[in-house]
C-alpha cells in the first residue's frame, strides 16, 4: 500500500521532514551511547528551518509546555522515556521505554507521532516505525 506524500507547506509536511531527519540520525548512529538531541523544525515559505535546542531548556524537554501556539507549521523532535505498565501473571509490571516524539503544532492544530528506540548492548540504537498518536 503506498502512502500519499504530504503537501508542501502543510503541518504534515513539516512532520515528514522531522521524521526523515530523525530516522536518518538513528540510521547514522555509530555508538551505543547515541541519544537524539532535541530540535525544532519550522516552515517558512517552502523551506523548513531546523534548529538545535538545549536539552536543558523547557522547549527541549517538553515543547508543548514551552509553546502554546505556533504561527508557522512547527515540529519538535526529542527523545523521552515513557513509563509503561504491563499485566503479567504476577500482577502489573512497570518499566521504562525510550521513545522519540515528533510533536507538531500550527495554530490550534496538533499532531503527535512517536517511535520506540531499541537498544542492544554494544550496538548503536535502532529506531522503530513512527506511530500516529490518537
Q: How far is the C-alpha of 31 from the C-alpha of 33, rounded, in Å?
A: 5
C-beta of residue 108 within 8 angstroms of C-beta of residue 77: no
Domain boundaries, the chain: 11-132
pTM: 0.86
Q: What confidence tens digit (pLDDT) does each residue in 78-116 have?
A: 999 999 999 999 999 999 999 999 999 998 889 999 999
How far is CA 80 from each of CA 42, 91, 93, rounded to the nearest angstrom? 21, 26, 20
Q: What confidence tens digit (pLDDT) does each residue in 40-67 have?
A: 999 988 899 999 999 999 999 999 999 8
- Tell whether the model's pLDDT for residue 126 goes beyond 60: yes
pLDDT (0 to 100) of residue 107: 87
Amino acid at each position: 500500500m503506498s502512502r500519499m506524500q504530504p503537501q508542501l507547506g502543510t503541518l504534515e509536511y513539516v512532520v515528514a521532514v522531522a521524521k526523515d531527519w530523525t530516522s536518518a540520525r538513528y540510521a547514522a548512529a555509530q555508538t551505543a551511547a547515541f541519544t537524539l538531541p532535541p530540535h525544532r523544525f519550522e516552515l517558512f515559505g517552502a523551506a523548513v528551518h531546523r534548529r538545535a535546542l538545549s536539552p536543558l531548556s523547557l522547549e527541549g524537554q517538553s515543547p508543548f509546555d514551552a509553546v502554546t501556539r505556533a504561527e508557522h507549521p512547527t515540529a519538535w523532535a526529542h527523545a523521552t522515556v515513557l513509563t509503561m505498565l504491563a499485566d503479567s501473571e504476577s500482577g502489573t509490571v512497570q518499566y521504562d521505554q525510550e521513545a522519540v516524539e515528533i510533536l507538531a503544532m500550527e495554530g490550534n492544530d496538533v499532531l503527535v507521532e512517536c517511535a520506540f528506540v531499541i537498544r542492544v548492548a554494544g550496538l548503536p540504537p535502532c529506531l522503530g516505525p513512527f506511530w500516529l498518536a490518537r
